[in-house]
Structure 1
Amino acid sequence: MKKFVASLGLFALSLSATGAYATPEPWQARFQAAATPIMEEIIWFEQYTLWFITPITLLVMALLAWCIYRYRASANPVPSRTSHNTLIEVLWTVGPVIVLLFLAVPSFQLLTSQYTPEEEPAMTIKATGVQWYWDFEYQDEENPLSFTSLLLQEGDRAAAGKENLEQYPRLLAVDNEVVVPVDTTVRVLVTASDVIHAFAMPPFGIKVDAVPGRINETWFKAEREGLYYGQCSELCGKDHAFMPIAIRVVSQDRFQTWYAAAQDDLEGANRALLAALENGGSEETVASAAE
Structure 2
Amino acid sequence: MRNHTSQTSFILLGLTDDPQLQILIFIFLLITYMLSVTGNLSIIILTLVYSHLKTAMYFFLQNFSLLEISFTSACIPRFLYSISTGDRTVTYNACVCQLFFTYAFGVTEFFLLAAMSFDRYVAICKPLHYMTIMNYRVCKRLIFCCWVTTLLIILPPLSLGLDLEFCASNAIHHFVCDANPMLKISCSDTWFIEQMVIVCSVMVFIVTLVCVVLSYMYIIRTILRLSSAQQRTRAFSTCSSHIIVVSITYGSCIFVYIKPSAKDEMAINKGVTILTTSISPMLNPFIYSLRNKQVKQAFNDLVKRFILLSRN
TM-score range, shorter chain: under 0.3
Greater percentage in helix: 2
Give the alignment's TM-score, normalised by structure 2: 0.26
Give the alignment's TM-score, normalised by structure 1: 0.27
* Bigger radius of gyration: 1
Higher relative contact order (CA 8 A, sep 6+): 2
Greater percentage in strand: 1
